[in-house]
Amino acid sequence: MSWSRLTSVLEKYDGALIPIAEDAIHPAYVDPLPTEPRLDIVLERRPDAYARFVAANGYSIVSTRGRNTSFAFLPPKLAARVTRAMGEPGRSWEDVTEERAAGRSQFAWVMFAAYDLSDVNGWAFGPGPDATPVVWSVEDSVPCEMIGTFDEWLAIQADELERQLMAVQKVLEQNESASDDDWTEVDDAVTAIEHF
């Protein structure tokens, strides 16, 4: 199972899963804005595999010793808030926000995980070939590439995470005097590896 693999990679490289409590979100985020999806839309866009994953594991930050390897599974209210900052492929931002403000948006893509909230980078559930939600990569707020099912995406994340953390560990082992706060060489090593 992909989740077990991800957990074992984190344990091997001193990573951690940090739970995110839904009620930890700032009260200002409780009431949806006109330009963000309602929570029922966020929840119905999730594939069954993700709903089972969340029921079993909750929402977590995947935290590691590498600077470019951490990401978070977004609770529904935060997912809705981040989704409103997403654009849509091939459409102008003005058209998308106007449609949302008028209540006409269908929110075809809904963010569920992110590695950079400020620039809206991460992953969203969006339309798949058979109308079943699949994972899309999101870069600079726009869905750009269909990846596959949630289980396929999770397996890819576990593999990429292990590859990057192996590189971090190798650099640390080569420079035994490096402390956890000395990331110069580690940053160089991780930067040299393509960001997932």
DSSP letter at 22? G
Predicted local distance difference test score (pLDDT) of residue 184: 43
CA distances from 131 to 120, 149, 166 (A): 24, 12, 37
- Mean pLDDT (the chain) is 77
Q: Is the pTM of this model over 0.85?
A: no
Phi, psi of 37 (to 5 degrees): -70, 150
- The Cα 110–Cα 71 span in angstroms is 16
Q: Output the pLDDT for position 24.
A: 52
Say which residue, 145 or 17, is predicted with more confidence: 145
Closest to 83 in 3D by CA, of 125, 38, 118, 36: 36
Give CA torsion, residues 82, 101, 94, 43, to 10 deg: 30
Question: How many separate domains does the chain show?
Answer: 1
Q: Which domain holds residue 57?
A: 2-192
Task: Judge contact between 62 and 71, C-beta under 8 A.
Answer: yes
- Phi/psi-derived region of residue 157, left when phi > 0, alpha when psi is between -120 and 50, beta in every other case: alpha
Q: What percent of the chain has pLDDT over 70?
A: 71
Residue 22: both structure tokens together:
């839904």
